[in-house]
Structure 1
Amino acid sequence: MKSLGIIITSVLVSSVVAVIPIAEKSKNFWLNSGRASIEESLRVRNIVEKAKNVIIFIGDGMSLPTITASRILKGQSAKHPGEETILSWEKFPYAGLAKTYNVDSQVPDSAGTATAFLSGVKTRMGMINVDASVNRGDCAASQGHELDTILRWSLDTGKSAGVVTTTRITHATPAGAYASVANRNWEGDNEMTDVHGGCKDIAKQLVEDNKDIQVIMGGGRHYFYPNGHKDPENGHNGQRQDGRNLIEEWQKEKATRGVKAKFVWNATDLSHVDPASTDYLLGLFDSSHMSYSYEQETQDTKDPTLAEMTEKAIQILQKNNNGFFLLVEGGNIDHSHHSGRAFDALHDTLALEQAVAKSASITNEKDTLILVTADHSHTMTMAGYPARGNPILGVAGKASDNKYYTTLIYGTGPGHASPRHDASHHHTLVESYNQDAAVPTHSETHGGEDVAIYARGPYAHLLTGVHEQNYLAHVMAFASCVGPYKQSGACSHSGGIIG
């Protein structure tokens, strides 16, 4: 088989030779594979028992083109054409679509979407777990309009709970599990100097109001350290203005209760955490967002992988016989897209894929509902007519201006140039490359189309079809009999809701 380097060279000299596996040239291959897929689908049986555990994976900004391109990259990294590859969640028996709009915006943000799939209520853009009767940024009006979430419902029924992310732990999606704010930017008190009305910043809410969350992992140390406190990794000052060290407060509260708790800030320390002797874990691995997965592979970032964090979280949480709820976010997919860098977006999607594969391998499909979805999409698309096996990060062909363009391009973003640059003059396969963008924006924007949902486990069949995004929270709550579906009168688990 041709190497990727040979394939990209052939594209640039416009003598494209498609890489077609020999078996696929036979009609019998496709007829037999079709029959096999029918037989496999017929073997699927709906699981209608109570979900002891619920895990929701969020690929932040993981649009359908992102999934397709990542699938191809995975295959090409293994020296295959790539298009025929299967991602771990694509083996799940059920799939559907979610409509992602916020109540006030066709194209959503991560705060409004997190509120939807974690609380079961759609709201405005930029607000976390505050209903849409409140305007963004109105601290006083938000009080009394806070929303509970699937994480809180799970804790209230005796389950354990955890939040894992590659962003700051106070960022929109992870904060959607535990915080309520009228403005997603209120991550630390330094972001609220002009806010009046008695609202708490997100970091303070996490430590003061969520003492029963067993596992917390992500970035964002600077919102927990006071101004003047040096970060252990980079020496930067903390950003809290109230003088409080929330990490020390978390540790002291656990010591007062006599529970087995650990704080870690790097991959080595996390690897040494013994789940058997750890009931509470706080891992903050960067002063801000964690590093991209490719950087973790090629540099000494000291950050654990998303799969490593997910595995450790499950090992700790599954000690509870009542079960657990876990939110896992691959947040840097979104940040990569905003930068117009498809390379990092695809690699971080594959890092999420490894985390999903790990969770599926150490949990039981009969008692654990696993969902994989995105909060919103992005404007990246696959364009042109590249040959089978063409590098997904490579050049697709020539445009009418006689310049080459890449397969992956953006509708908006920092990759816009006028006149347009010629992709053949750039090394498109490297991390730093910015794909072309049709419209110049400093940061590439979100997209507004539906996102995919993949599911396996108890009541996963409820996630087929097209649904409003808030439906996901209802399915998770119904399957695990928590929150509004806690009472047996509403959640029979003998085939459906009974009146």
Structure 2
Amino acid sequence: MYLLLYQVLLFISIVSGKRDIEAEKKPSFWKDNAKKELEAALDAQRLNTNVAKNVIIFLGDGMGISTVTAGRILKGQLRGESGEETKLTMETLPHAALSKTYSANAQVSDSAATATAFLCGVKSNWYTLGVNAATVYDNCESTKGNGVESVLVDSYKAGKSAGVVTTTRIQHATPGATYAHAPNREWYGDADLTEEAKQNGCKDIALQFYEASDMITVALGGGRKYMQPENTTDYEYPKMSNSRKDGKDLIQMWKNKMTSSGFEPKFVWNKKEFDDVDVESTDRLLGLFEPSDMHYDAERSKDGEGEPSIAEMTSKAIQMLQKNDKGYFLLVEGGRIDHGHHSGNAYLSLHDVVAFDNAIAEALRMTSQEDTMIIVTADHSHVFTIGGKSIRGNNIFGLQPDVSNPVNALDNKPYTTLIYANGPGFHGEYFVNAMGYNEPIIKNGSSREDLTNVNTTAPDYLQQSAIPLDSETHGGEDVAIFASGPMAHLFHGVHEQSYIAYVMRYASCVGPDQGHCMKEDDIGRIEYLGSSISVSTANSTLRIQFIFLIILSVVIFILLLLLIRNSLNSKRKANYKESGKAPDVPLSTRP
């Protein structure tokens, strides 16, 4: 009910269009607005303690709070609104908290260690994936016996279906944490393994995906080149070779494996094939739409063969997974939010936030809050800020305080609302280095670029940064958790990031903690005298037994008294008979 009320408020804000400037001048506007929010907040106090049949976790990679705010404004401005008053779909979820993102050995963490935390429930070391903190980075030998299992694995063991959706490659840090164990997150394919790794028997992440694919009903993202031999070329780009050195075609091996297991598999690599998938007749679905990461959403239309949006992939995944009556676990990652920030390009990053939010809306439309827990969070933040003195409704990518009338800083040059603390946009000039990063050009004695005649709203513009780096860095502050559905109220304050995994397990009754399952809805049952009965039935039976025992004890006590009395009377009669005297009147007949 509470989520429905929030969704109604969101719908009203959408259809109302641009803000009513005159109405906002009246105190009654804000009073009425607060009253609606208060009603929704009070309704949210009706806690949903159901068991989560399904769990969907949406992970906005690098989606810190400043990114959420800027994404909110952009989404509103794309609808013709000023933007500040807009609500993202994720912000309509009734429960919210903060997550502490540090890792076992890093104040500011990376996506592998953070994914291990929120998917496996264990904080690990920087750049390590699906292992505990005893594992040393890039050291294969140290991983032995130190792997940790994810909520996806626990869900599969409980009979549920599982899926992974990402806009990066499926071997990347976040999706990889659901099934892989590696001391180096960048061991995407066997070509990336070190000699030490090969000698000690470590496997690349793509191979681990194949080996774990029995557990995964649907996987959608990028990463084709890590799955096929280097002597073959890509489906879409015939001049690009694949990268496996062991000669294995993991895609064909996946098809064979699924078929031999009795499943009807489907592999797709472009939009048309994706759209043509018949969900009812397909048991397993693998979609790899790019050799590496998928396109940014703002550039998706440039793909000649076409790519599905993250919302479309989410919809297809849910359709595949909901065929299992026992429920499912689904990870959906908006992974290129992070990549846009690393490139110093807020335009690409924030448009991916909007696309990511659309996927959340699609999931809410397709599921019920009564049996589906939905979590939206981030693995870490970025050194990305919203500042200046911008007026209401100013273009989020524009100069401040007003695009049409910018105000200069002390160096007599204008600046934008959005700025990075570090990154490639240092002086405004950069080149693409051998690693594919935007490396800033540093000139001795050069000063900040004059933005007077620069189009800062262009898709390829890089926001200025205070420190020159070829890749902007993560931020170390806490990130938001938004949640709805069964047990979502367990997100309520400031939590360790590893806590998220335990809430998902507890809410959905997978893994070792089954306490939430012991209730009358027959999810938790007790074996009693050879029969399986619900807890409430067992309680009623025990109460009846207790009452029966009390009654039985009273009856036995009365019978004992009668036996004692009769025994005493018999002894008196015997004594009188021996003495020749007449017996007295029995005790029970005396007046």
State the TM-score, normalizing by the size of structure 2.
Answer: 0.79
**Which residue number in structure 1 is paired with residue 322 of structure 2?**
318
Distance 1:492 1:478 in 2: 12
Distance of aligned partners of 1:299 and 1:218 in 2 relative to their CA distance in 1, 3 Å threshold: closer
**Which residue number in structure 2 is paired with residue 332 of structure 1?**
336
**Which residue number in structure 2 is paired with residue 108 of structure 1?**
109
Of 418-427 and 114-123, the range deviating more from structure 2: 418-427
Matches of residues 184-333 of structure 1 in structure 2 within 5 Å?
184-194=185-195, 195=197, 196-235=199-238, 236-297=240-301, 300=304, 302-333=306-337
**Which residue number in structure 1 is paired with residue 530 of structure 2?**
none
Distance 1:173 1:403 in 2: 40
User: In the TM superposition, what is the alpha-carbon distance from 1:193 to its structure 2 partner?
Assistant: 4.1
User: In the TM superposition, what is the alpha-carbon distance from 1:20 to its structure 2 partner?
Assistant: 6.9
Cα deviation, 1:174-228, whole Å, max 9, x if unaligned, reads 1011111111011110001422310111000110233221001110100001011
Distance 1:27 1:242 in 2: 70
Cα deviation, 1:100-130, whole Å, max 9, x if unaligned, reads 0011011000000000000001010100111
Of 51-60 and 30-39, the range deviating more from structure 2: 30-39
User: In the TM superposition, what is the alpha-carbon distance from 1:493 to its structure 2 partner?
Assistant: 6.1
State the TM-score, normalizing by the size of structure 1.
Answer: 0.93
Contact 2:225/2:242 (CA < 8 Å) preserved in 1? yes
SS in 2 for 1:36: helix
Contact 1:215/1:313 (CA < 8 Å) preserved in 2? yes
User: In the TM superposition, what is the alpha-carbon distance from 1:268 to its structure 2 partner?
Assistant: 1.1
**Which residue number in structure 2 is paired with residue 15 of structure 1?**
none
Runs of 5+ consecutive residues of structure 2 not aligned to the other structure:
1-18, 401-406, 428-445, 521-591
- Whether 2:417 is the aligned partner of 1:407: answer yes
Contact 1:47/1:459 (CA < 8 Å) preserved in 2? yes
**Which residue number in structure 1 is paired with residue 120 of structure 2?**
119
Distance 1:258 1:345 in 2: 41
User: In the TM superposition, what is the alpha-carbon distance from 1:298 to its structure 2 partner?
Assistant: 5.6
SS in 2 for 1:211: helix
SS in 1 for 2:215: coil
Q: Which amino acid aligns with 1:374?
A: A
Contact 1:20/1:388 (CA < 8 Å) preserved in 2? no
Distance of aligned partners of 1:401 and 1:463 in 2 relative to their CA distance in 1, 3 Å threshold: same
Cα deviation, 1:42-87, whole Å, max 9, x if unaligned, reads 1122110100000000000001111111111111111111100011
Of 295-304 and 58-67, the range deviating more from structure 2: 295-304
SS in 2 for 1:390: coil
Q: Which amino acid aligns with 2:396?
A: I
SS in 1 for 2:332: strand
**Which residue number in structure 2 is paired with residue 10 of structure 1?**
none
- Whether 2:147 is the aligned partner of 1:146: answer yes
User: What's the C-alpha RMSD, in Å, of the aligned pairs?
Assistant: 1.6
Distance 1:400 1:491 in 2: 63
- Whether 2:384 is the aligned partner of 1:384: answer no
**Which residue number in structure 1 is paired with residue 67 of structure 2?**
66
Of 114-123 and 190-199, the range deviating more from structure 2: 190-199
Contact 2:337/2:352 (CA < 8 Å) preserved in 1? yes
Runs of 5+ consecutive residues of structure 1 not aligned to the other structure:
1-18, 495-499
Distance 1:129 1:149 in 2: 8
Distance 2:516 2:95 in 1: 24
Cα deviation, 1:397-424, whole Å, max 9, x if unaligned, reads 4211110111000001000014101222
Cα deviation, 1:14-62, whole Å, max 9, x if unaligned, reads xxxxx97221111110011111211121112211010000000000000
User: In the TM superposition, what is the alpha-carbon distance from 1:258 to its structure 2 partner?
Assistant: 2.4
Equivalent of 1:480 in 490, 508, 522? 508
Of 112-121 and 423-432, the range deviating more from structure 2: 423-432
- Whether 2:389 is the aligned partner of 1:361: answer no
SS in 1 for 2:415: strand
Distance 2:127 2:228 in 1: 25
SS in 1 for 2:420: strand
Cα deviation, 1:255-294, whole Å, max 9, x if unaligned, reads 2122111000011111111111111000000001000001
Contact 2:51/2:517 (CA < 8 Å) preserved in 1? no
Contact 1:20/1:81 (CA < 8 Å) preserved in 2? no
Distance 2:60 2:137 in 1: 25
Q: Which amino acid aligns with 2:312?
A: E
Aligned length: 477
User: In the TM superposition, what is the alpha-carbon distance from 1:490 to its structure 2 partner?
Assistant: 6.4
Cα deviation, 1:345-391, whole Å, max 9, x if unaligned, reads 10000010010000000000000000000000001100100000000
SS in 2 for 1:424: coil
Distance 1:136 1:298 in 2: 38
SS in 2 for 1:210: helix
**Which residue number in structure 2 is paired with residue 167 of structure 1?**
168
User: In the TM superposition, what is the alpha-carbon distance from 1:301 to its structure 2 partner?
Assistant: 5.6
Q: Which amino acid aligns with 1:411?
A: A
**Which residue number in structure 1 is paired with residue 27 of structure 2?**
27
- Whether 2:485 is the aligned partner of 1:457: answer yes
SS in 1 for 2:214: coil
Distance of aligned partners of 1:399 and 1:491 in 2 relative to their CA distance in 1, 3 Å threshold: farther
Distance 2:177 2:408 in 1: 44
Of 21-30 and 304-313, the range deviating more from structure 2: 21-30
Distance 2:152 2:336 in 1: 22
User: In the TM superposition, what is the alpha-carbon distance from 1:299 to its structure 2 partner?
Assistant: 5.4
Distance of aligned partners of 1:47 and 1:110 in 2 relative to their CA distance in 1, 3 Å threshold: same
Distance of aligned partners of 1:190 and 1:368 in 2 relative to their CA distance in 1, 3 Å threshold: same
- Whether 2:371 is the aligned partner of 1:351: answer no
User: In the TM superposition, what is the alpha-carbon distance from 1:393 to its structure 2 partner?
Assistant: 0.6
- Whether 2:159 is the aligned partner of 1:158: answer yes
SS in 1 for 2:154: helix
Matches of residues 15-94 of structure 1 in structure 2 within 5 Å?
21-44=21-44, 45-94=46-95
SS in 2 for 1:423: coil
- Identity of paired residues, percent? 50
User: In the TM superposition, what is the alpha-carbon distance from 1:143 to its structure 2 partner?
Assistant: 1.1
**Which residue number in structure 1 is paired with residue 377 of structure 2?**
373
Structure with the higher fraction of residues in helix conformation? 2
**Which residue number in structure 1 is paired with residue 475 of structure 2?**
447
Distance 2:187 2:496 in 1: 27
Q: Which amino acid aligns with 1:226?
A: P
Structure having greater relative contact order (Cα 8 Å, sep ≥ 6): 1
